[in-house]
Structure 1
Amino acid sequence: MSKNGGAIFDSNQSIIRIKSLGQVFDIKHPEGNIYFNGSKHRPAWNWRWLILHYLSRADATPIIDKLISYRELEHGNVNYPAILSKCIDPLVKNLLQESVEQIKKACLMLDASIEQGADVCAKIHLFPRFPLTIKLWLGDNEIKGSANILFDLSANHYLDTEAINEAAIMVSYFLIKQYELMYRTI
């Protein structure tokens, strides 16, 4: 599981160590208990579920570097309205009026790499072999802004489409919250 998912197995401690959104997690093997590295604090249940789902499904398929939309995933058309309402629309509502540089800095806090292809194009590794790419086009007086979340063609080798839905919701939410923590605190 560790090798297939790009994680590290510490056989002395019987711990799988995996990086996600700039955080490192320790997963006790075989129990599956997950903690932030070096602490007794646990991530939210959906994050823990995604980590276990990712590790159990991982098959070592390399990242292909070909982006696809949610609709292009296995059975992706079925849940596209959820991706739109729970991921893309909140990005539009919360970030499109903000500074490009500030949005990029918030993305970097989630261990993203900033790429070309939009006003903001951030590849965010939820897991070592599972990147999501968030694209934001801020628009202007003549053109309305928009957003999209894209996935690597290899995505279904690591999460099923339902779990990818949850992953996209989580990453979108974390990016918005990271931005708010950095720039909207009183």
Structure 2
Amino acid sequence: MEEWSVSLSTAYEKAVQDMSSLVPSAVAARTGAQFDGRAFTLKLFYRTFRIAFPAIAISEIGAQEPPPLWAQILLLHHLQTADGTPVADHWIAFRELPGGRFFESSYMQQSIAPLVERFGQDLDGFREASRALGGTIMNRTGDAAFRFLAFPQMPIGCILYLADDEMPASVNIVFDESASHNLPTEDVAVLTNYFSNLLIAFAD
């Protein structure tokens, strides 16, 4: 746990340093964030964050506690990575992201398995939680499928397949083809873990 904390602290410090070279107006245009001359305002799913610039300080609007360090890193990495590539409206699997196969095992264990356990036999619960999290219906195969905005210009999709006589229940999270232009793959794995926890929390 101590090593994890040190690793996060190091990643955060580097992310803060890397912010110094950014042009705020260009970042806002590429990400869909707002910049008022002193801070960016950026949504992550239903939560809204304020990222002061150039002296970086991150807070969640309406919250008393500071965001966890992993969330702050995710926000900074998105501001740094997003290059303005438009949404392609073409969905791909996690393994198709750059280096996705390297992270796939932990992604399946931390993001997919909990969703299957919670919603594999609860179609109505999946639909209700998805709508509560701001999801909109996707035209995809599966028993239910919803599209979400992780960041303003970074959609993800979640598809539930109920069990049948031949196959067990399964869940698939899909990403717009432009996802790697918005976050490194390791951060996409963190994002989906957060999404999985959110969706389960909205159901319970």
Give the TM-score taking structure 2 as reference length: 0.81
Q: How far does residue 50 in structure 1 lie from its aligned partner after superposition?
A: 0.7
Spell out the pairing of 1:64-143 with structure 2 (5 A cutoff): 64-98=88-122, 100-117=123-140, 118-143=142-167
The yes-or-no answer on 1:2 pairing with 2:25 is no
Q: CA deviation at 1:36?
A: 1.8
Offset of residue 109 of structure 1: 2.3
Give the number of equivalent residue pairs.
Answer: 177
What SS does structure 1 have at the residue aligned with 2:171? Answer: strand
Moved over 6 A (4+): none
Q: Which shows bigger deviation, 60-69 or 31-40? A: 31-40
TM-score, normalised via structure 1 length: 0.88
In the TM superposition, residue 142 of structure 1 has moved relative to its aligned partner by 4.7
**Deviation for aligned residue 1:39:** 4.4
Q: Distance in 2 between matches of 1:114 and 1:41?
A: 33
Structure-1 separation of matches of 2:51 and 2:76 = 9
Residue type of the alignment partner of 1:6: G
3-state DSSP of counterpart to 1:106: helix
Residues in 2 aligned to 1:47 and 1:119: alpha-carbon distance in whole angstroms: 31
Q: Which amino acid in 1 is paired with 2:36?
A: D
Aligned to 2:12: none
Tell me which amino acid in the other structure corresponds to 2:33. Answer: A
Q: Which has the higher helix share?
A: 2
Matched, 1:53 2:77: yes
